[in-house]
Amino acid sequence: MTDVANTDRFGLLTPSSNTTQEPEFFAALPPDVSLHTGRVAYRDITPQEQERCVLELEAECRKLADADVGCIVFAATAPTLAKGKGYDRTLIRRMEDAAGRPATTAATAFVDALTLLGANKIAIGAPWSKTMDEPMVDFMQASGFEVVHSEVVGFVASIDLGRASPERAYELGLRADRPDADAIIMPGGNWHSMRVVERLERELGKPVLANNAVSLWAGLRLLHRRDSIAGYGRLLRDHLRHEMA
């Protein structure tokens, strides 16, 4: 039985249309880490919705602080890099100022994970449109990574993305890969890419980083956790450790 007094509390900030993150996080979190969720308005995967969703950032972070969470992760990729390099850090400051808790974003988590793994050349497999992919490519290149290829699916309605099968994510991962890529990243938190990471890594022989897996990893690092979580790829299995800055 879990010791309630010693349970760590993980604060997740998710888009309002997201139906994937909470089930995936619940399934993967260790039994002595509880999940607590706030939601920001975000319906479609468009630049306009990216602007709208951050309007509620402080209010939702303050609500999560009421639950005494140990960290807050804004686990959406596109909204956290929409204005280029450094924008994720601006959002982190807003979140931490509002909640008084350590915070991070999905965009930040991708950079931190790739740096830890020593991946310099990356391929991107994204569920959204090519228009939405341009800021992602620009952000990763500005962060010091060479994007050797980027592949998209074309989803616009986030709720439709949440209904897409894991097989769609698996197929995209295969299409996105290039021989010279050190790693594949799969942004987008409302589709079932996390559950195909292990399969893709076995087949391709390189790290595969899915949005929800890197967001989970980043939050657990803020909680100073040292768990090994199997079934979702090497990042959560082998590289979950807190490193002091």
126-175, pLDDT tens digit by residue? 998 888 899 999 999 999 999 999 999 988 888 888 899 999 999 999 99
Does residue 241 have a pLDDT over 80? no
Average pLDDT, whole number, for the chain? 93
Q: Which fold has domain 4-107+213-232?
A: Rossmann fold (3.40.50)
Which residues on neighbouring strands pair with residue 36, listed in sequence order? 11
pLDDT of residue 71: 98
Give φ, ψ of 241 to 5 degrees: -150, 150
pLDDT of residue 2: 57
pLDDT of residue 156: 85
pLDDT digits (tens, 9 = 90+) for 52-80: 889 999 999 999 999 999 999 999 999 99
CATH classification for the domain delimited by 109-211, as one of 3.40.50.170, 3.40.50.12500, 3.40.50.720, 3.40.50.11540: 3.40.50.12500
Cα first-last separation, the chain: 34
Give CA–CA dist 16/117, Å, rounded: 32
Angle between helices 211-222 and 106-117 (to 10 degrees): 90
62 burial class (0-12, 13-18, 19+ CB within 10 angstroms)? middle
pLDDT of residue 3: 67
Helix or strand or coil: residue 184?
A: strand
> What residue segments make up the domains of the chain, in order of their start?
4-107+213-232, 109-211
The answer to whether domain 4-107+213-232 and domain 109-211 are alike in fold is yes
Going by C-alpha positions, the residue among 81, 64, 82 that lies closest to residue 73 is: 64
pLDDT of residue 242: 47
Output the pTM of the full model.
0.94
Give CA–CA dist 135/78, Å, rounded: 8
